[in-house]
Structure 1
Amino acid sequence: MTISSAIQAAQSGLRITSLKADVVATNVSNSTTAGYVRRSLVVAENVLGGSSAGVKSVGISRAGNEALSAERRSLGSDLSQADLFASTWNTISARVGNTADGSGLFGLFSNFESALSNLAISPESGSDMAATLQAASSLVNEFNALSDFATNLRAETDHEIGIGVDTVNAALKGIEDINGKLARVDRTSGQAAALIDERGRLLDQVSEYLPIQTVPRQSGGIDIVTQEGVYLLQTNAKQIEFTPSTVFGPSQTLAGGGLSGLTVAGIPITPGASSYGAVSSGMFGALFTLRDSDLPAFSDQLDTLAGDLIARLSDDSIDPTKAPGAQGLFVDSDGSGDPGLAGRLALNPAIDPDQGGSMWRLRDGIGAVSEGPSGNATTLQNMLDAITTVRPMNSGGFQGSYSSSELLAQFASTTGQKRISHEAIVSSASSQYTIMAEAEVSETGVNVDQQMQDLLIIEQSYAANARVIEIASNMIDRLMEI
C-alpha cells in the first residue's frame, strides 16, 4: 500500500466514524421517542480502479421487525377494546352503586322501604309520612338520572366514534402521502428511515381503532387491509363513512336506521353487523358494542325495574280507593309504556304536594277524597307487602323470583360483575401486549448502554485512523528531508 492510499483509506475511515457517531447520537437522543426504530450505518469497501480505497457509506438501516410490530398492533387493538369496556363499566358500576355499602339505586330503595315500614308502624306520624314521600321522590329522581346517564353515555360513544373515524381517515391519508414520498427517495437514506418511523406511528393510530394488516409494495409503500379483508388503503386511502347522530333515545337504533354504522367504499364494516367486513376488535368494536348493545340493555334493565315498581304498587288489592287498573304510588308520566320508562317514572300527582296532591293519600289511598282515620295502616301495609313479596321475573335480562330489593340488588350485582369481568380481561390483554411490546423494543429500540459502548468503539476507530494519517504525514516529512 502506498502512503497516498493509506492516507486516503484513513480519511474515509474518519468520515465513516463521524457518520457513525452522528447515527449513535440520533439514536440516543430519540431513545424515548415513541415509534422510533434504531438506526445503524451500512458500510462497504470502496473500490477504485480495482483497488481498495478505504470504506464508504451505502445507507442507513433500520432495526425494524414487521412481524413483531404487526403482532403488537393486533394485541394493541384488543387492549384498546378491553380498556374501553373496563373503564366504561367501571363508570357505570360506580354510578349505580352497590349493595355492600348501600349506595346508589339500591341504597335509595332501601331508604324508601325502611321509611314505608316506619310509616306502617306509625301511620299517624306526619314526619314519617314526609320521610316516606321524600324517600320515594329521591328514588324516582335516581331512576330518571340513571336513564339520562345511559342516554348521555350513548351520545358520548357516538361522538367518540365520529372522532375515531376522523382520526383514522386522517392517518390513512398521511400514510398515503408517506408512500408517495418513499417512492421518490433513496430507501436506504436517513430521510426514508424517518418516513417509515412516522408511517409506523400512523399505523399505530389506525390499529388502536380497528385491527389491520399491511401489504408491502415494491415502491416502498404499503397497502392496508382490515383483518376481515376490507382494503382501507390500496394505492389511495379510502374514506370511512360515518354520520354522527344528534338525537338519542330508546327509538334510535342502528337496526331501525336512527343511528349510523361504518362503511368503506359501500362495504359495511360496523362491528356486530352481519357483513363479512364487520370489525371485530379495537376501539370501534367497543364503542359500537356499548352504543348498540350494552347501554341499551342497561336502559332496558332500568325500565324493567321501574315497571316492576309501578306494577307492584298498582295492584288493585292494595288500595280500594283507586280506580281499577289505575297506577299507584309510582306512575309512567305519559302512560305510554314505551321504552324509556325509567326516565318517565314519577310520583302519582295525587300524593305529591308539588303537583297539587295531598301527602295523606299515602295512608288513606290514591282515590280518597278526604283524610281517613290517622291510625289506619292497611294501605301502607299492603304497599309494604307488595314490595317485599317474591315474584317471578323473566324480563330485561332478569330470570328468577325476587322481591323489589332483591331485584335491585341483582341489578347492582350484575353491573359490578361486568366491571370485574372486563377488568380481568383488560389485565390479561395488557400483560400480553406488554410482553410483545417489550420483545419489539428489545429488538428494534435503542439500548443507551449499548450505544455508549458503540460510541467507545467509534472513538477508538477515529483515533486509529487519525494515527494512520499522523504517521503518514511524518513519513512524508521525513522523505522531504532526505
Structure 2
Amino acid sequence: MSISAAILAARSGLQVTSQKAEIVATNVANASTPGYVRRSLVVGELVNGSQTAGVMANGVARAGDDAIKAQRRELTSDVAQATVLASTWQTISQRVGNTSSGGGLFRSFSNFETALSAAVTSPESTANGSALLDAAKSVARELNSLSEYGAQARAEADSEIAQGVETVNTALKQVQDLNKRIASIDRTSEQAATLMDERQRVLDTIAEFLPIQTVQRDAGTIDVLTTQGVYLINGSTARQIEFTPSSAFTSGQTLANGDLSGISVDGIDLTTGSTSFGAVSGGLFGALFTLRDQDVPAFMDQLDMVANDIITRLSDDAIDPTKTPGEQGLFVDPDAAGLSGLASRISVNAAVDPAQGGDIWRLRDGLGATASGPPGNSATLSAIYDAFTQVKSLNANGIQGAFSASDLAAQLSSVVGQKRVYQDSVLASTQAQHVTLVEAEQSLTGVDVDVEMESLLLIEQAYAANARVIQVARDMIGILMEL
C-alpha cells in the first residue's frame, strides 16, 4: 500500500469513527426518551477497484426484534382492555357491596329485614314504623342509584368509544404521513431512524385501542391491519373508522335493535361481539363495547330481577286484606312499564309515605286501611316479613338457586364479586406478561449508558490509531522530501 493510500484509508477511518461517536452521543442523550430505539452505524469495507481503500458508513441501523415487538404490542391491547374491565367491575362491586363489609345493596336489604323484624316485635312503636319506612326507601334508592350508574356507565363507554375513534383516525393519518416521509428519504439515514421511532410511538397508541399487526413494504413503509386482517392502512392510504355516538341511554337501547352504533371500516364491521370476521376482540374498544353492550346491560337486568322479586313478593294479595286485589304492595313500579328498567323506577307505595301524602301506620294496618287500627296488631307486618324471608327458586339472568329477598341481594353481590375477582386476575396476568415483554424489548432496543461509554472508549482508541497512521505517513513524507 502506498503512503497516499494509507493516508486515505486512515482518513476514512477518522470519518467513520467520528460518525460512530455522534451515534453514541445521540443514544446517550435519548437514553430516557420514550420510544427511542438504540442506533448503531453500519460499517463496510471501502474497495477501490480490487484494492481495499479503507472503511465506509453504509447507514444507520435500529436495534430490535420484530417478533417481540409484535407480541408486546398485542399485550398492550390486552392490558388496556383488562384495565378498563377490572376498574369498572371494582366500582360496581363496591357499589353493590358484599356480605363481609355489609355495604351497598346487600346492606339496604339486610337493614330492611332487621327493621321489619323489629316492627313485627313492637307494631305499636312509631319509631319502629319510621325506621321500617326509611329502610324501605333505602332499598328503593339503592336500586335506583345502581340502575342509574349502569346507564351512566354505558353512556360513558359510548362517549369513550367516540373519543377513541377520533384518536385512532388521527393516528392513522399520522402513520400515513410518516410513511410518505420515510419513503422519500434514504431509509438507512439518521433522519429515517427518527421518523421510524415516531411511527412506532404512534402505532403503540393505536394498539391501546385495538390489536394491530404491521406488514413491511418497499422503501420502509408499512401496512397496518387489525389482527383479524382488516386493513387500516393499505399502501399509502389510511382508512377511517366510522362511529356514531348516542345522545341518550335507556334500558331498551341496544346495538341489536339499531339504537346504538358499532364501529366499521369501509363497511366491514369491527364491533366487539358482532358476527363479522373483523370483530375486534381486544384493546380499549374491546373493553368499552363489552361493557356497553354486554356486561353492564346484564348487570342491569339482574338489578331489574331483584326489583321485580321484592315487588312481587310483597304484592301478594294474601299479605294485606285491605289492599285492592291485583294492586302492588309496599314496593311499586309507578309507571307499570314492565321488567325493563324496573330497578330505576321502583319506589315505596305512597300510601305509607307521609312525604307523598300517606300514613306510616298503614305499614301495620294495611295499604287500604282508612283509619289507624289496634296498635298491637302485627298480622300484616308478620305476613310481609314471611313473604320477604320466604325461600323461592330462581333461574334467570345468570342466577340460579333458592333465595329469600336478602339472599338474592347477597347472591347478586357474590356474582358481581366473582366477576371482579376474575377481571382482577386477568389484569394481573396480562400485566405480568406485558412487563416481561417490555423488559425483553428494552434489553434489545433500549440504551445502556455503561455499554455506550465502553463503545465510546473503543471509538476513541480507533480515532487515535487512525490519527497516528496519518501522523506517521506525514513523517515519512517529510523524510522523503529531505532526500
TM-score, shorter chain, exceeding 0.5: yes
Q: What is the match of residue 344 of structure 1? A: 345
In 1, Cα distance between equivalents of 2:228 and 2:8: 58
Seq. identity, %: 57
In 2, Cα distance between equivalents of 1:95 and 1:119: 28
Closer, same or farther: CA 466–219 of 1 in aligned 2, 3 Å: closer
In 2, Cα distance between equivalents of 1:64 and 1:190: 16
Q: What is the match of residue 205 of structure 1? A: 205
- State the AA in 2 paired with 1:244: P
Q: Does 1:304 align with 2:295?
A: no
In 2, Cα distance between equivalents of 1:412 and 1:311: 21
In 2, Cα distance between equivalents of 1:52 and 1:433: 48
Deviation at 1:478, TM superposition (A): 4.7
In 2, Cα distance between equivalents of 1:325 and 1:452: 87
Deviation at 1:411, TM superposition (A): 0.4
- Aligned residues of 2:210 and 2:226 also touching (Cα < 8 A): yes
- State the AA in 1 paired with 2:193: A
Q: What is the match of residue 415 of structure 2? A: 414
Deviation at 1:151, TM superposition (A): 0.5
Q: Does 1:323 align with 2:353?
A: no
Q: What is the match of residue 459 of structure 2? A: 458
- State the AA in 2 paired with 1:382: A
In 2, Cα distance between equivalents of 1:113 and 1:411: 17
Deviation at 1:424, TM superposition (A): 1.0
In 1, Cα distance between equivalents of 2:233 and 2:188: 24
Q: What is the match of residue 226 of structure 2? A: 226
Q: What is the match of residue 380 of structure 2? A: 379
- Aligned residues of 2:308 and 2:339 also touching (Cα < 8 A): no
Q: What is the match of residue 359 of structure 1? A: 360
Cα deviation, 1:351-402, whole Å, max 9, x if unaligned, reads 1111111111111111011100111111111111111110111223221110
Comparing 279-288 with 303-312, greater Cα deviation is found at 279-288
Deviation at 1:216, TM superposition (A): 1.7
Aligned length: 482
- State the AA in 1 paired with 2:294: S
- State the AA in 1 paired with 2:292: R
Deviation at 1:70, TM superposition (A): 1.2
SS in 2 for 1:443: helix
Unaligned runs of 5+ in 2: none
- Aligned residues of 2:270 and 2:280 also touching (Cα < 8 A): yes
In 1, Cα distance between equivalents of 2:276 and 2:184: 38
In 1, Cα distance between equivalents of 2:98 and 2:440: 41
In 1, Cα distance between equivalents of 2:339 and 2:464: 85
Q: What is the match of residue 18 of structure 1? A: 18
Q: Does 1:238 align with 2:232?
A: no
In 1, Cα distance between equivalents of 2:254 and 2:408: 27
- TM-score between both structures, scaled by the size of structure 1: 0.97
In 2, Cα distance between equivalents of 1:158 and 1:129: 44
In 2, Cα distance between equivalents of 1:284 and 1:102: 34
- Aligned residues of 2:223 and 2:233 also touching (Cα < 8 A): yes
Q: What is the match of residue 121 of structure 2? A: 121
In 1, Cα distance between equivalents of 2:386 and 2:308: 17
Q: Does 1:188 align with 2:202?
A: no
Following superposition of structure 1 onto structure 2, how do residues 76-155 of structure 1 map, counting pairs within 5 Å?
76-155=76-155
- State the AA in 2 paired with 1:373: P
- Aligned residues of 2:304 and 2:339 also touching (Cα < 8 A): no
Q: What is the match of residue 45 of structure 2? A: 45
SS in 1 for 2:165: helix
In 2, Cα distance between equivalents of 1:250 and 1:458: 69
Q: What is the match of residue 272 of structure 2? A: 271
- State the AA in 2 paired with 1:246: S
In 2, Cα distance between equivalents of 1:46 and 1:392: 86
Comparing 454-463 with 413-422, greater Cα deviation is found at 454-463
SS in 1 for 2:395: strand
SS in 2 for 1:185: coil
- State the AA in 2 paired with 1:361: R
In 2, Cα distance between equivalents of 1:244 and 1:123: 54
- TM-score between both structures, scaled by the size of structure 2: 0.96
- State the AA in 2 paired with 1:203: L
- State the AA in 2 paired with 1:297: A
SS in 2 for 1:160: helix
- State the AA in 2 paired with 1:350: A
Following superposition of structure 1 onto structure 2, how do residues 48-67 of structure 1 map, counting pairs within 5 Å?
48=48, 50-67=50-67
Unaligned runs of 5+ in 1: none
Deviation at 1:477, TM superposition (A): 4.5
Q: What is the match of residue 388 of structure 1? A: 389
Cα deviation, 1:63-82, whole Å, max 9, x if unaligned, reads 12222211221222222222
- State the AA in 2 paired with 1:272: G
Q: Does 1:159 align with 2:159?
A: yes
Deviation at 1:423, TM superposition (A): 1.0
In 2, Cα distance between equivalents of 1:45 and 1:402: 83
- State the AA in 1 paired with 2:306: L
In 2, Cα distance between equivalents of 1:172 and 1:66: 20
Q: What is the match of residue 71 of structure 1? A: 71
SS in 2 for 1:219: helix
- State the AA in 1 paired with 2:201: R
What root-mean-square deviation, in Å, do the aligned CA atoms of Structure 1 and Structure 2 show? 1.5
Q: Does 1:469 align with 2:470?
A: yes
